[in-house]
Structure 1
Amino acid sequence: MGSNPIVLIHGYSASGESFKVWEKKLETRGYDVSTIHVCSYVTLTNEVTIKDIAEGFDRALSIEGGLDPDQEFDAIVHSTGMLVIRAWLTAYSQKRRNRLKHVIGLAPATFGSPLAHKGRSWLGAMFKGNKEFGPDFLEAGDLVLDGLELGSKFTWDLAHKDLFGSEIFYGNKNDTPYVFTFCGTNPYSGLAKLVSDPGTDGTVRWAGCGLNSRKILLDLTKQQEEEQRIDFDGSKNDGIASTVLVEGLNHQTIMSNPRDELVDAVCEALQFTPEQKIQDWQIKTTEKLSPKTIDLWQQFVVRAVDERDDPIPDYHIQVFTQGNDNFQAIDNFAANVHTYSGDKSLRCFYVNLNRILNPQNLQQPTNLPNLMMRVIASSGSQLIDYLGVNNKGEWDAQMDISYLLRESKVRLFWPFTTTLIELKLNREPRKDVAKFLQRLQQLSSN
């Protein structure tokens, strides 16, 4: 079965053993094992980046993998392997897009992991003696862990290349790959259960796996009445399936003990053609693999910049609804926030939408009467202010974003996705920063 060679990309395991089960499963379904190539990485040095690994992967394709320079292939990636294949794909985009036909993500760390910033020694203590492997980046160097951190500059920039750039990377045609992602719904067991956050498979977030992302620009540098302050940048990639949540599996059992229904779904995805409808595949596969009821989670990555696109590291966001005499904060929005250590202008929010959306009917608009955002930013100096403006040219720290509640194209809340938000403010020096000296007048004495 299958006309393309399959490349299995694990990430940073010292051996490719974690993919052996999948290799056997594919063989039993008619795939020729001689065309299945397992690629693994060892990154014990702090100087190696994900981009370095991507270029090493390109070299390995032709040397160890035995693929011709223009030969087409499919890829099945686990965890950090998704970042490797995307970094490889965007480096020399047109030529490489023509080669790669299908990307299957098994619990991919598409937007990083909440474990990456905790440190290798702490994670090692949690997973020591556990029968499950633990995160694949336990042996990763510092620069790899930096790219895997929630809200990292690497994942922000990568999304702007393959998701929000001018080129289509994952379209519904033969010259770009299709993308299908799966993620387990169970946490780790034993002591490792302590590291499993809600809404994760133990290592990656349910909402941080898929590539069906959107970007919203909230521009407070524009006059409220004169220009549109809310702009939407939807991905043009129509070859991306939404993440399918797989009941009963976690980040490692999706590799070591996958359900037969999951393997069948992956094989169907590998055979997907432009004549098929990706939404039909999505509905059918979700009915087979996903739990009937599950908490709704959404991830937001926010970056605050000034009008020159320089980062704003010190800011605070409140999201709330407003009544006649008071306001009601949306507590879920601030309950789980991570500030990226390499650039504090980047924040990652993980929001439980159960109280915001109707789990039984996601097409139904939220019952929130309105939605407001308040922004407080500081330069750390009395000489510099960050300002937004209203139509009177005065400071406006509050913005009505109710438009994003019900507009179907730009709806703010949509579960199991990552939404990028760019917040733009004016950086204004006060008058004391620069001024002309008064010319001294020499007084004549009479």
Structure 2
Amino acid sequence: MSHPLVLIHGYSDVPESFQNWEKILSKRGIDVSTIHVCGYRSLTNEVTIKDIAEGFDRALRLRAGLNADEPFDAIVHSTGMLVIRAWLTTYARQEKRKRRLKRLIALAPASFGSPLAHKGRSWLGAIFKGNRSLGPDFMDAGDLILDGLELGSRYTWDLAHRDLLSNEVFYGPDEDTPYVFTFCGADNYKGLQGFVTNPDGTDGTVRWAGCSLNTRKITLDLTTDEENTTIKRIRFDEWRSDKRAHLQVPFIPIAGLNHGSIIEKPTTELVDLVLKALRVTNQEEYAQWNQEAIEKTDKTRRKMIPWQQFIVRALDERGDPITDYHVRLSAGYQDSPDKLKPVDVDVHTYTGDKSLRSFHFDLKKIRLEELARLRVEIIASSGTDLVRYYGHIPSDGQPQDKNERQTAASQWTAVFDMDQLITNEDIKLFYPFTTTLIELQLNRDPEPLLPNGTKVTWFVERAK
């Protein structure tokens, strides 16, 4: 390793949590004087993740041994991933910052938040307050940070659009952007804390499916447009690929570790992989490292339940949020394809904007290898008969007549098949240990139509 190494801890944690990592790295030949541990305040309700990122930049410029514009590597834990991504993307100097950060090693990163974040505001967050041995993250106050960490938050939605889904490359194949290495514990907490916190498909705090930066977006456009008859209803953004100069960032699970022990008691397997990552200097070496890491952890991955996360945002044609809606999936299998069964899913609605929902799927329960049909039902309601949502298809799945109106003016329901997503390898829907963003677009109009306008807006008839 030829660059200084910056360590950034997670939410509600302290810089001292990296002490064991410092000792291990020192024993493995890294000069301690080149290691710089960054601490920050998270247990205060006035500080945001962007505030921490800007503070990190100022501290970085003042730190002895870290000259201005000097390249560095980083190891981040949990919320530290959101801090470094905010530092990379928020400011006008991001081109210089991308070239400066050479290797980004993420330990159990909260790339898309945590299922415990919304509980941090409740009594549950006080159970382990001040007791680091029971887990360093997400268990105290800090409302603005917890808001960003909540599943399906507007913050992580917008951040993904800035660095993962934009045309600008933040994690590419050359030295102009950092190489990213993503690790997460394959186990969760034990004992009392495990009884209280362990959500399914997690290391005890963050979802396996929410760690990786391998992300794409699907736009489901159900708006009506009389002038445009060639609307592509389902639009798939490409996965991060060489075509857009993005790199794949594999999810590397580590056996025997959870969210706390990955930083407190790292295994030899993890340390070996991290040290090799710190020596990667080009795309060929990065690809070789990925192949080796995947092969070494294949046995661990096969034992894990293959979860996938979808983050859905519903908007009307004006870009305003739709807050009262439901999405239901049902599946038909090869033995009886016409007998559709509901798909079991864990759903969380983001507190700050109910147009955003996080859907968590156990892909083993979906039985992908036997799947023959996939049907989606969308129900949207305005809550009043004065305004309604609608799309280009009604409940029977046939094209909607522009003059046709459903009986319940405040509620719109559509059912349509997505069977093409099962058979088409280029656009298939399910990928384990990833997060997919879905934007659902509908129309919102005043109803009903009257001779002089609508019940919302109308012209007054002149007296004769």
Q: Same fold (TM over 0.5)?
A: yes
Q: Are 1:231 and 2:228 counterparts?
A: no
Out of 346, 371, 375, the residue aligned to residue 368 of structure 1 is 371
Higher mean displacement: 39-48 or 85-94: 39-48
User: How far does the alpha carbon of each residue in 1:414-436 deviate from its partner, in whole angstroms, 9 at most, with x for none?
Assistant: 00001101011111211222222
Which residue of 2 is the match for residue 157 of structure 1? 158
Alpha-carbon RMSD = 2.2
Q: Distance in 1 between matches of 2:15 and 2:132?
A: 17
Paired positions, count: 431
Shift of 1:76: 0.5
Compared with structure 1, are the counterparts of its residues 47 and 130 closer, same or farther at alpha carbon in structure 2 (3 Å cutoff)? closer
Q: Distance in 1 between the 2:459 and 2:320 partners? A: 27
Correspondence 1:180-195 to 2 at 5 A? 180-194=181-195, 195=197
1:242-391 aligned at under 5 Å gives the runs: 242-276=250-284, 278-290=286-298, 291=300, 292-321=302-331, 328-333=340-345, 336-357=346-367, 366-390=369-393, 391=399
Alignment partner of 2:175: what SS?
A: coil
Counterpart in the other structure of 1:361: none
Structure 2 residue 414 is matched with structure 1 residue 397:
yes
Cα deviation for residue 237 of structure 1 reads 5.6
Deviation at 1:165, TM superposition (A): 1.1
**What pairs with 1:36-185 in structure 2 (closer than 5 Å)?**
36-64=35-63, 66-92=65-91, 93-120=94-121, 122-127=123-128, 132-185=133-186
Structure 2: 5+ residue runs without aligned partners? 394-398, 407-412, 450-454
SS at match of 1:433: coil
Q: Is the 8 A contact 2:34 2:65 kept in 1?
A: no
**How far, CA to CA, are the matches of 1:12 and 1:294 in structure 2?**
26
Q: Counterpart of 1:198 in structure 2: which amino acid?
A: D
CA distance in 2, matches of 1:105, 1:238: 18
Moved more, 377-386 or 401-410: 401-410
**Greater Cα offset, 421-430 or 11-20:** 11-20
C-alpha separation between the residues in 1 aligned to 2:178 and 2:223? 38
Summarize deviations over 1:382-415 as a string: whole Å, max 9, x none: 1111101143435761222222223323221000
Alignment deviations for residues 77-124 of structure 1 (CA, whole Å, 9 cap, x no partner): 000000000000002321211111111110011100000101255344
User: Retained in 2: the 8 A contact 1:74–1:270?
Assistant: yes
Using the TM superposition, give the Cα deviation of residue 13 of structure 1 relative to its aligned residue in structure 2, in angstroms. 4.5
Quick one: distance in 2 between partners of 1:88 and 1:329?
45
- 1:275/1:115 CA distance change after superposition, 3 Å: closer
Residue identity opposite 2:373 in structure 1 = N
Q: Which amino acid counterpart does residue 423 of structure 1 have in structure 2?
A: L
Separation in structure 2 between the aligned mates of residue 164 and residue 280 of structure 1, nearest angstrom: 25
Task: Give distance in 2, aligned partners of 1:387 and 1:256.
Answer: 52
CA distance in 1, matches of 2:245, 2:85: 14
Moved more, 89-98 or 323-332: 323-332
The whole-number CA distance in structure 1 between the counterparts of 2:150 and 2:326 is 20
Provide the secondary structure at the position in 1 that maps to 2:303.
coil
For 1:425 and 1:129, how far apart are their aligned partners in 2? 46
Mapped partners of 2:423, 2:64: distance in 1? 49
* 1:209 match: 211
State TM-score, norm by structure 2: 0.87
Q: State the identity %.
A: 55
Greater CA drift, 392-401 or 432-441: 392-401
1:181 and 1:347 mapped to 2: Cα distance? 25
Amino acid at match of 1:433: V
Check 1:382–1:8 CA distance in 2 against 1; reply closer, same or farther (3 A cut). same
Task: Tell me the SS of whatever aligns to 1:262.
Answer: helix
SS at match of 1:118: helix
Letter in 2 for 1:206: W
Say whether the 8 Å CA contact 1:179–1:241 is kept in structure 2: yes
- The 2-side partners of 1:239 and 1:116 are apart by 29
Query: How big is the shift at 1:29?
Result: 2.0
Contact 2:8 2:38 in 1 (8 A): yes
Change (3 A) 1:274 1:63: same
Residues 256 and 147 (structure 1 numbering): CA distance in 2 closer, same or farther, change over 3 Å?
Answer: same
Instruction: Measure, in 2, the Cα distance between the counterparts of 1:131 and 1:158.
Output: 29
416, 436, 448: which one aligns with 1:419: 436
Distance change >3 Å, CA 312–CA 6, structure 1 → 2: same
